[in-house]
Each structure stands twice: as structure tokens, then as C-alpha cells.
Structure 1
């Protein structure tokens, strides 16, 4: 049955899609942002100058999302990670990472709906994003499954090292290792096979599979897959001095562009790869906590 609430959400989604299509067209017409000035003038991180990084202290709220945690660690969002307006979260993600306003609106709106709150008027503590099978899900590339890791706010460093070791690409200029879409697909396949074999509560529906591939695709769209930048970002949840988004689009990364990468990553995931099946059977998966 249709209700005013469901109709309103449907209209919001239609508006968001039309807006995203328009921004995609704008990106085709308008000049790209200049290297060194991707972050807007007056915003934290302009010209690669980031606010002081301070590790979270006891009592601070952190999430399963390294991007949001980094914003709090640098004071771009409140350092305690608490009482953050959904609208402020959207704005800071846009200016820091150059995601299009549509993407920055969609994710906080999804989180607000997940928690039964209003995107326009309410607030969130970062740890509330750790609700299992909300945004957080099994077979993550950066955290062990909730069955094994109760505190999803902290990165699993051995898992991240394993993930980064899958990089096969190299930057044409400085030969820095780079993660490719195929690398993300291969490691995602390994994580899913490992979780399915060891986690008795393992669940990963189609929505969360796509959500996971979309999350991992940000590492390509925004960081260019560069391992040197990602090592700091993922393990310390810190933005390196001098870093700026690799996405130069005038209006930022839209859903239209972003989804092309996410779909390619998901299509490349072969969960029945013999090498991973063999590793799991022999207990040599490398990422399992058991």
C-alpha cells in the first residue's frame, strides 16, 4: 500500500536521479577542476593543506567507514564523532572527496531512513552506522565480519595489508603500485569465500554485494587506487598532507560515472574461483580470524 511517506521517498529518488543525470551532462560540458585546487577555496584541505590529525580518544564515536572517520580525525566533522547533522555530513563529504552532491545526499539519507530519522533535521553519531546489515555488512574488505569483530569502528590492519598486497597496477609516472578494478574483484571474491566458509552467521544479499562493490570503488574513483595514499587512509584513517581527490569532474563523481566502476567490480567477482576455494579448504585463506 502506498503511503505519504513511501510516495515522498519515491519522488525524492526520482528527483535525485534527474539531478544526477543533469550533473553528468554538466561534467561533460564544463572544464575539469585544476590539479591543486580540487577542494574548493575556503574548505578544509584546499591545496592539500589538511587540518591537524588527532587519533580518536576513548569515548569518541567512530564508524565502519574510513572516509567519515578520517573527517572526524581531522576535525572536518566534529572530532568526537557525535551529534553530526546529516546535512553537514553530506556537505563535508562533497567538499573533501569531490563526490557529486547527489551521491552525498543519497548515503546520509539512506542512513537517516535506516535509523528512522529525518535527513533534514536530525543528527547521528558515527558509531550508529555500524548497525549490522544496514550499511555495515559481511565480507568487508577492511573489517572482519561482525560475528568475529564486535567493534566495527576499528580497521583490521592485517586484513588491510592483505588487501593492498593484491595491487597489480603501476602508475605510469612514478611506478607507484595501484589497485585496479580486477584487483578489487579478486580480493572481494576471496573475502566472500572466506566469510562463507568460516562465519556461521554469514549473510550477503544482492543489495549488500552491490553496496560493498560500490564502497570499494571509491578507492578507485577518489584515490586512483594508489597504494601509498590508501595505506595511510585505510590503516590510520588519516589524509596525507598534500593529497587531494583524483576525481577532477566539475560537479564531482556522479552516480552515472560511479556506478559504471561499481558494476564492473561486481561483475568481476567470481566467488567460485578454484584458488580461493582451495585456500579456504586448506585453511590458508589469510583473512579469516579463525
Structure 2
């Protein structure tokens, strides 16, 4: 049975990657979606009209991902963050954030496997996604390490403020934005600091890629715009009138996303941060 399960997972991965490549090619030869039409018209958030924001109340389940928490805070996912179907997560993330279908199948399936649940039939609470060294990891850009704050639903504002202060770019409309270099620089600082101060610090190669993937979402789906990033990270709220900055007709594919992830990860240099500290 384990051998059959492994073969099935391998086949599914190859299928998703081939599917993703085909969507990437379609994006290359078709025009992007026009502003105001990125979120499907029948979905919450169409035309920038998002459901009312309601902060979580006591007993609601939240996780280490601000963008998933935002969906719950707007009632696009169940507001209490509980008993969410993995298939529901796939559909909701696809329509709300314009990730490609492949992305929206792969990540919830990965989460289901991590939690030893069935993607098609089981449910989960958002807090379950914060299982330490599952998807959640040390040296987060928005949370204290689990060693110091086991409740990974809580944003650590000093980290967010330091990240936003790194922004050095501007987009064509003149909005201040984070660049991949900015995110790499701050990720270097966070990793070096966490490694030096957390006696239980761990960060595998896989979790390094998770970290750079999380931060790359700020650069792709949010376009790096500091005004939007600040609202998402500090309030876990979707700004009025906002729509995904990734306007690809088939959504942001895994292949296209990895270009940003690798750009961020490959430029992270903890040693440079330590050298700067020694020089000071």
C-alpha cells in the first residue's frame, strides 16, 4: 500500500506540473485580465467589492498566513476558521487571489497530506496549518518564532514595520513598493537574528523555500505595494477596491511564481548581515 500511495503521489505531481506548464504557456500567448475583471464577477470581491470585514472573535481559529486569515475575516472562508473543506480552500484562493488552478490544488493537497487528512473529504481548522515545522517555520517575516509565541495567529508588528521600512521601489503609478532585493535583505536579517537568539531554531532547505514563497506572495499577488501589504499584514483585511496585482488570464502559475521565489531565496545572505553588524 505505501508503494502504491507513493506512486499515486508521484503521478499526481507530474500531472500537476504538466498542467501548470500548459497554463503558463497559455498566459504567454493570451492578454492579461483587465482591471476590475480579475476576480470573477460572481465571486466575493468582484470589482473590488469585498464582503464586510469582521475581526476574529474569541474562539475563532486563525493561522500564520495573513492572506488566509483575511479571507476568514471577510467571511469568504468560514468566519470562525473551522471545518473548512480542502476543496473549498482550493476554489476560494483561486477566485480571490488569482493563483492558478494548479497552485490552488497543489498547496491544499500538500496541507492535507501534512495533516494526515483526505483532500477530497476531510476538513480542517485554520490553526492546524500553524503546525510547527509543517508549513509554519522559524524566521517568519511577520511572526515571532514558535519558541517565543506558540500562537502563530498573532502578528508581530515590529517585524512587519521593519519589513515595510525596507521598501525601496516604486511601481509605474508611483506607489512605494517592496522589491525582491528588499525582501531578500530583510529575510537575511530575520534568519540571522532568529538563528542567533532562538535556542530551538531550525530552518531546513524546504522551510527556507516556504519562507521565500510566503514573502514572494507579497511581491506577486500584492504587487509589493506597501499600502496594500501593510493592511494585509497588520489588519489581515482586504483593502476596499483591491484586486490581485497578478492579472494573468490563467492565474499565477507555480512555474511563473518560482521565478520570484528563487530570486528572493538566492539573494538571501545571512553572512552579509553578520558582517555588517561586525563593521558597526
Q: Given the two structures, how large is their TM-score scaled by the length of structure 2? A: 0.97
Counterpart of 1:12? 12
Counterpart of 2:133? 133
Within 2, Cα distance between the matches of 1:156 and 1:182? 22
The within-5 A match list for 1:79-94 is: 79-94=79-94
Within 2, Cα distance between the matches of 1:2 and 1:241? 48
Within 2, Cα distance between the matches of 1:267 and 1:142? 20
CA RMSD of aligned residues (A): 1.5
Unaligned 5+ segments in structure 1 are 285-290
The within-5 A match list for 1:199-218 is: 199-218=198-217
User: Are 2:161 and 1:180 aligned?
Assistant: no
CA contact (8 A) 1:223 1:246 kept: yes
Within 2, Cα distance between the matches of 1:159 and 1:179? 15
Counterpart of 1:234? 233
Counterpart of 1:31? 31
Shift of 1:157: 1.1
Shift of 1:94: 0.5
Shift of 1:224: 0.7
Counterpart of 1:142? 142
- What secondary structure sits across from 2:255 in the alignment? helix
- What secondary structure sits across from 2:41 in the alignment? coil
Within 2, Cα distance between the matches of 1:95 and 1:154? 26
Shift of 1:276: 4.1
Q: What is the CA deviation profile of residues 72-131 of structure 1, one whole-angstrom value per residue up to 9, with x for unaligned ones?
A: 000000000000000000110010000001111111111100010111111110000110
Question: Structure 1 pair 276/167, CA: closer, same or farther in 2 (3 Å)?
Answer: farther
The within-5 A match list for 1:57-136 is: 57-136=57-136
Within 2, Cα distance between the matches of 1:137 and 1:14? 27
Q: What is the CA deviation profile of residues 180-218 of structure 1, one whole-angstrom value per residue up to 9, with x for unaligned ones?
A: 000010000000000010000000011110111111101
Shift of 1:25: 1.1
Shift of 1:4: 1.1
Q: How many residues align?
A: 280
Within 2, Cα distance between the matches of 1:11 and 1:235? 40
Counterpart of 1:221? 220
Within 1, Cα distance between the matches of 2:241 and 2:104? 23
Within 1, Cα distance between the matches of 2:57 and 2:162? 27
Shift of 1:158: 1.4
Within 2, Cα distance between the matches of 1:251 and 1:49? 22
Within 1, Cα distance between the matches of 2:172 and 2:33? 21
Counterpart of 2:154? 154
Within 1, Cα distance between the matches of 2:54 and 2:200? 35
The within-5 A match list for 1:240-251 is: 240-251=239-250
Counterpart of 1:49? 49
User: Are 2:256 and 1:253 aligned?
Assistant: no
